[in-house]
Amino acid sequence: MVNIPRWQVILIILVVVAGFAYASPNLLGARDAESLPGWVPHQQVNLGLDLRGGSYLLLEVDLPTVFEEDRENLVEELKGALAQRGVEATDWGLFGLAAGFTLVNPDDSGRARQAIAETILRSLDIDNNNGTFRVTISEQGIRERATNVVNQAMEVIRRRIDETGTKEPSIQRHGDDRILIQLPGVEDPERIKALIGETAVLSFRFVHDSFTTGGRVPPSVEVLPADEPGPGEPDAYPVSKRVMVSGDRLVDAQQTFQDGLPVVSFRFDTQGAKRFGDATTENVGRLFAIVLDERVISAPRIREPIIGGSGVISGTFTIQEAQDLALLLRAGALPAPINYLEERTVGPGLGADSILAGEIAAVLGMIFVVVFMATIYGLFGAMASVALLINLVLMLAALSVLQATLTLPGIAGIVLTIGMAVDANVLIFERIREEMRNGRGPVTAVDAGYRRALTTIIDSNVTTLIAALLLFNFGSGPIKGFAVTLAIGLLTSMFSAIMLTRSLVILWLRRRRPQALAI
């Protein structure tokens, strides 16, 4: 027992040195930490919304609008599916979430059913009564559609917020159709809301030039307003409903400059580039409308074929507007409109008060534990207190390395860990006392104390660790913050109690060689 393997000594030294190195940047300001050389650790613990201040947003995904669009599109999709199979149908109609039609030839029922099953990519219930079909979106299809729309909305929102440089945003699903967003340190929540709320559906369509916007509008054309028209430009454009190229074919969009003015350059994928090239080649001289969220933001005339798969969106943009538009196009379109249900702003002053209260609680907890250990266990208690201080340093280093977000419940987890960290030492020291009462010498008592208490220590910490993992898995927001600090504290406390404190005790035994232990 009195012989510690050399590798173990080296491991303890390396862990402690690394802990101090990765924890030390938290003593500096954010700018000072960022200015450190690249080879020096500079990660700091990220503070959550309740500590740093920021914005809290509760959003609702407008699923009824999605289902209404699906209902309206169902007829068109069914018509296209049947046309591809050469099946003729009449008496088209909508009945709730169902579309109905009647086959001209009832003998085509088999082909019609096969066309629907193979072409429509959603769960449908098909009812056929002698050639009269009613196709309904199933309950399973509705649930799957709702789940996919909310998940897609979360991913688009996450990409948009990440593009703004917001650090450690928390984006979580809240119920069936709601999304909870927490943005620590955000100083301009209105701009974030504007970026999140934009659906950003981009399409490229031709302007219909065979009639004026004041005349009768054909079924294949819709009149869309111009977005901030310039001098001499029309207020609206008659635009074909047919989309030549959609925005989902974009692979990149960046704000740049053309003739000294801010514009947005874009680039298509291979298939989008081919469609764009074919459309511009066959329609030189026509106006090509760039439509964003049902507004024409630009309608340039095609001077020559554009076959490179890239282009430029120009308009009366400011630099910030061009950057935001490029961001929206890169992130993709929201699958549904977003409604804001709740918005709260946490000031940095409240966060500072929370940090101060947490620091006071941690310091008082540390003082009480140190006094208790030193009073009850003497020198051994002082060694455990040194290990406890190092344990706090290791926790801070781990939070910095993992870039975990520290919240107010997380501070509560740290304070709880301070008390739990000496748990293992208490078990070991009480076992050593028992061995001393049984007549063992100092060396054998310490050896037996650590060896026989080890199983109990591992059992108690593992069970608590399992509870922390369950809290992290099933909890949300603040609960996860508490679970993270608790789990990290358990791991570092086991290291400090089993390895660090034991090494200090062994070093003292070697140097002093006492005949009795004052414990």
User: Does 436 share its domain with 506?
Assistant: yes
User: Does 21 share its domain with 71?
Assistant: no
Q: From start to end of 22-169, where are the E strands?
A: 46-47, 54-61, 89-95, 98-103, 124-129, 132-137
Q: What is the CATH number of the domain that holds 475?
A: 1.20.1640.10
CA-CA distance, 428 to 128, in Å (whole number)?
77
CA-CA distance, 483 to 473, in Å (whole number)?
9
| Max avg pLDDT among 110-124, 343-357, 469-483 | 469-483
Q: Which residues contact 16 (CB under 8 A, 6 or more apart)?
A: 390, 393, 394, 500
Domain of residue 192, residue span: 152-341
228 domain-assigned: yes
The mean pLDDT value for 485-490 works out to 88
User: Does 313 share its domain with 441?
Assistant: no
107-121, 209-223, 381-395: which range is least confident on average? 209-223
The mean pLDDT value for 39-43 works out to 72
* Widest pairwise Cα distance in the chain: 109
Q: What percent of the chain has pLDDT over 90?
A: 2
Residue 65: both structure tokens together:
């609008």
Give the end of a domain, one of 142, 167, 201.
142
- Tens of pLDDT, residues 272-309: 888 888 888 888 888 888 887 788 877 878 878 877 77
1 domain-assigned: no
375 domain-assigned: yes
Q: How confident is the model at residue 14 (pLDDT cuts 50, 70, 90)?
A: very high
Higher-pLDDT residue of 120, 258: 258
| Type of residue found at 87 | V
Decide: 519 and 442 in contact? Cβ < 8 Å: no
220 domain-assigned: yes
Q: Which residues contact 92 (CB under 8 A, 6 or more apart)?
A: 75, 79, 99, 100, 101
User: Does 305 share its domain with 165?
Assistant: yes
CA-CA distance, 504 to 377, in Å (whole number)?
15
- Tens of pLDDT, residues 15-26: 999 999 888 888
Residue 315: both structure tokens together:
């308009």
75-79, 119-123, 201-205, 492-496: which range is least confident on average? 119-123
* Distant-in-sequence contacts of 209-214, Cβ < 8 A, 24+ apart: 209/238, 209/286, 209/287, 211/238, 212/238, 213/237, 213/238
User: Does 406 share its domain with 488?
Assistant: yes
The whole-number pLDDT of residue 125 equals 81
CA-CA distance, 56 to 16, in Å (whole number)?
38
Decide: 494 and 454 in contact? Cβ < 8 Å: no
**Beta pairing class for 221-225 and 178-184:** unpaired
Classify 372 as helix, strand or coil.
helix
417 domain-assigned: yes
Does position 213 have pLDDT exceeding 60, yes or no? no
Does position 375 have pLDDT exceeding 60, yes or no? yes
Number of domains making up the chain:
3
